Amino acid sequence: MKSKKSFKKLPRLIFLWDWCSMCGAHIRCPVCGNDTCNGTFGLLSDGSKCVTCNLAYQYNDLCHLHGCVPQTKGAIIKVNRQLRRAN
């Protein structure tokens, strides 16, 4: 009989919105805190490149493509509050 593999429960990643005066609303990486308006990847404490930034950029692009981006700082605060409550 095969044994079931036990998987550690992975932490949930909550992609929160942030505001930039040049580009408006954008997603911030939940692991390293890098914002998606600068086109770079963040660094982790061990000096390696954050792989979660790629997901943040993809999520940011999807939201902009489908028009589900908060348009004001107040809307960002409201959306982030809802995301935190849901997770």
Please provide the DSSP assignment of 13-71 as one string. Answer: P--EEEEETTTEEEEE-TTT--BTTS----B-TTSPBPSHHHHHHHHHHHHHHHT----
| Residue 1 belongs to a domain | no
Q: Evaluate whether residue 12 is within a structural domain.
A: no
Q: What is the pLDDT of residues 11-63, one digit of tens each?
A: 678 888 998 888 888 999 999 989 888 888 998 989 899 989 999 999 999 98
Nearest of 15, 34, 13, 37 to residue 26 by alpha carbon:
37
Q: Has residue 75 got a pLDDT over 70?
A: yes
Residue with token string 């999807």 = 62
Q: Which pLDDT score is estimated for 11?
A: 67
Top pLDDT among 83 and 7 is at: 83
Report if residue 7 sits inside a domain. no
30 contact partners, CB below 8 Å, separation of at least 6:
13, 14, 15, 16, 52, 56
The domain tally of the chain equals 1
Q: Please give the pLDDT value at position 87.
A: 66
81: in domain: no
Q: Please indicate, yes or no, if residue 58 is contained in any of the structural domains.
A: yes
Domain ranges, residue 69: 17-75
